[in-house]
Structure 1
């Protein structure tokens, strides 16, 4: 039996915890306490994946912005060289360009790491349903409202 593909959830974080809104429109807030149900595990994993996805976009924007600023530095260096303003200013522009290249590389590295985290969260969500979904539904659908007495579990 193949699981349904994961459905994106929206998630926000504030001082009160993680607020997850499912595709069905249900909203839950997790304050960092213990997760009690399979649905909560799946929602948290999908919410974390959504947060990772927005961070990925931010990292890519930073990479692009750093590349644009480095290109601007290149133009500025050419103009300074043409006008023969001074070697000190050219050196500072070269240093700035190098720092922008380092920033772009760091943002790309963080992007790659977050991408792995997003994949892990989505996989955890899908695996939770595959591995535990049937027993979860069996318990949820059971007419029993309380666990068995201790002697039932200790019987051999």
Structure 2
């Protein structure tokens, strides 16, 4: 069974955005930020990937700092134990070390997740260019200023 052929939508533009009316009479308004060109999509994906990379670097710094502080806690626990200061202080230092280990693990986990997001953004950017770039450039380079009539597209 063949699907129904596509029906054209009408669109008008004013200072409030782009107003689209479907053949069924439903309307929707897109503000300027919702209607994007291919270049804007690619730039947004690339910018998001760059932001993700900066965030992963920050996460690794936090993980390294937490790891270093946990190592310092180990040394402090050894010194306190050697001086026989008290079990209460040793317990608090051990609890602090555990929390720092958890913080380092959480920072590493966030790093890994953001790194996956960065890869997804770069893939989306590359795919958008690969899949839609040639037709986008063909339309942008065309001397025509308006689309063809519907019969042109329906002709075989």
Give TM class, smaller chain.
0.7 to 0.9
Compute the TM-score of the two structures, normalised by the length of structure 2.
0.74
- Residues 1-156 of structure 1 mapped to structure 2, 5 A cutoff: 33-149=33-149
What 5-or-longer segments of structure 1 have no aligned partner? 1-30
Q: Distance in 2 between matches of 1:154 and 1:73?
A: 74
Deviation at 1:83, TM superposition (A): 1.4
Q: Distance in 1 between matches of 2:37 and 2:44?
A: 11
Deviation at 1:33, TM superposition (A): 1.8
Equivalenced residues, count: 126
Retained in 2: the 8 A contact 1:81–1:90?
yes
Q: Secondary structure at the match of 1:144?
A: coil
Retained in 2: the 8 A contact 1:35–1:41?
no
Instruction: For residues 92-128 of structure 1, give each alpha carbon's deviation from its aligned partner in whole angstroms, at most 9, with x where no partner exists.
Output: 0000000111111111111111111101110111111
Deviation above 4 Å: which 4+ runs of structure 1?
A: 149-156
Larger radius of gyration: 2
Retained in 2: the 8 A contact 1:60–1:108?
yes
Q: Distance in 2 between matches of 1:61 and 1:81?
A: 30
Q: Distance in 2 between matches of 1:51 and 1:82?
A: 47
Computed over aligned residues only, the root mean square deviation of the Cα atoms, in angstroms, reads 1.9
